[in-house]
Structure 1
Amino acid sequence: MDLQLKGKTVMVAAASKGMGYAIALACAQEGARVSMASRDKQAIDAAAATIRAATGAEVHAYQFDAANADSIAQWVTATEQDLGAISGLVVNAGGPPAGDFLDFSDADWQSAFELTLMSAVRLIRAVLPSMQSLGAGSVLTITSSSVKEPIDILLLSNVMRSGVTALMKSLSQAYAGDNIRFNNLLPGLIDTDRLKTLNQKRAEALAISAEQVRQQQEAELPMGRYGTPAEFANAAVFLLSNAASYITGSTLAVDGGKIKTVW
């Protein structure tokens, strides 16, 4: 299937590693021009160089802070100057810290709000004019299975990512006439550094090893294993592409059957 991404500009946030990196790589493999960004300049430069070498695609690396409005605006402006009008955007950011309700101060809630919800608002608002000029576009947020089944130690993420999901549904209605699509992609247990960190926290709380946590989790998954970033990226590239041209306002889980809710 030709996904028709060749020559189109796609922005991928938090792309130096993990799911963001896998999506940037998959877009480059489809011939897209990729703008990838991260807080860590050295890491994002190295990631972009690896993808360029592997695919021959035009890939630009930028340093940005998802929780900073000026940084977001600068990344979008630089991408338009270097790569042209933006066809696709992947909203992604490192997750808020894990913990229980009484662990978090007002400052913790505000920080999670800026990192997770406002990063989505600001990124989308910044790219919309570019997509409107093209008469088409696809925005994809990377949220969490917690928006359907809250995760006990991820209270900040549960709340803020649910807000992002509601935002995307609202925007899908508002901008359908502009042929701009808005969808959410929910990772289940994808084998990333973030999951390893959360597993270590669970292991410490349960006084077991992180490997035992993994074994317990995989035993509970219908598919019996963690997903890979590449598997997650395949779904992302589909939703970004014209192959998904009639899909908007949807929330797709890539979770190996983990979520048990019907909707």
Structure 2
Amino acid sequence: MDLYLKGKKAVVTASSKGLGRAIAEQLAAEGADLLLCSRDEQAVCDVAAQLGQKYGVSATGMAVDLSSPEQIGWLVQQAADRFGRVDALVCNAGGPPSGSFLSLDEEAWLHAIQVNLMSVVRLVKGFHPLMKEQGGRIVTIASSSVKVPIPGLVLSNTLRTGIVGLMKTLSVEWGPGGILLNTVCPGRISTDRLVELDTAKASRDQVSVEEIRESMVKDIPLGRYGEPEELAATAAFLLSPRNSYMTGSVFYVDGGSIKAI
């Protein structure tokens, strides 16, 4: 299926690896021009160069700290200068630290709020002027924890749920202007973040990482962890003109692990 993304202008945050990189590659494969960012400038510039050469699209990488409103503002200005408009925006950020409620101090909460919630607020507000003329698509990457909270991830459980509320609210406010906003929630997708979480849980439970993975897979009807490319395919569709009537929704890419209706 042609997603009609050829020549569209897309911005993907936290795209030097993992889910962000996979989404960026899927968009490039469909012909979209890219502006990518990450805290690791060398890594994201390398990804941009690889995708640009592989798919024949314009792709630029730059260093941006999503906890900084000034740097997000700079990213928006770069997109305005390079593209003049933005058709697709992916709000993605690394997950906050694991920990129980009583183990986390206020500094951890404030930092996570800046990176994982306020970054989305600032990104969607900043890019709105570049979408309002022609409409656009926004996808935020959250977590299956918005449906079923994950033990030991109180920061993620709290902030990801806030993102869903924001996207739902904006889908109503911005729908008349042709801007569609959706949330994609990964389950257990094979990324560096998941290795970190499995390792932390193995340490807490005093078992091996392999035992943790085996126990987790038992709860996944498809019997395996997902691949970043599988989530990226869903995100690319939602970011494309092919998605013309879905907004304010939450999409779980979890192999069926969420059992709730």
TM range (shorter): over 0.9
Q: Distance in 2 between matches of 1:53 and 1:244?
A: 27
Q: Distance in 1 between matches of 2:93 and 2:78?
A: 19
1:139 match: secondary structure: strand
After superposition, the C-alpha distances for 1:18-75 in whole angstroms (9 at most, x for unaligned) are 0000000000000001111000101111111121222111111111011110000101
Q: Distance in 2 between matches of 1:220 and 1:117?
A: 29
Per the normalisation by structure 2, the TM-score is: 0.98
Match of 1:257 in 2: 256
Shift of 1:214: 1.0
Farther off after superposition, 65-74 or 207-216: 207-216
Contact 1:120–1:164, Cα closer than 8 Å, also in 2: yes
Match of 2:129 in 1: 129
Question: Equivalences for 1:1-263 in 2 at 5 Å?
Answer: 1-134=1-134, 136-262=135-261
Residue segments in structure 2 that go unaligned for 5+ positions in a row:
none
Shift of 1:84: 2.6
Q: Aligned residues: percent identity? A: 43
After superposition, the C-alpha distances for 1:148-183 in whole angstroms (9 at most, x for unaligned) are 000011100000110010000000000110000010
Give the length in aligned residue pairs. Answer: 261
Per the normalisation by structure 1, the TM-score is: 0.98
Farther off after superposition, 104-113 or 136-145: 104-113
Q: Distance in 2 between matches of 1:216 and 1:55?
A: 39
Matched to 2:91, the amino acid is V
2:185 match: secondary structure: strand
Q: Distance in 2 between matches of 1:198 and 1:54?
A: 32
Q: Distance in 1 between matches of 2:10 and 2:185?
A: 19
After superposition, the C-alpha distances for 1:70-89 in whole angstroms (9 at most, x for unaligned) are 00010111122112300110
Q: Distance in 1 between matches of 2:106 and 2:191?
A: 29
Shift of 1:207: 1.3
Could you list the structure 1 runs, at least 4 aligned residues long, displaced by more than 2 angstroms after superposition.
none
Q: Distance in 2 between matches of 1:242 and 1:59?
A: 20
After superposition, the C-alpha distances for 1:172-212 in whole angstroms (9 at most, x for unaligned) are 00011000001000000000000000000011111111122
Residue segments in structure 1 that go unaligned for 5+ positions in a row:
none
Contact 1:9–1:84, Cα closer than 8 Å, also in 2: no
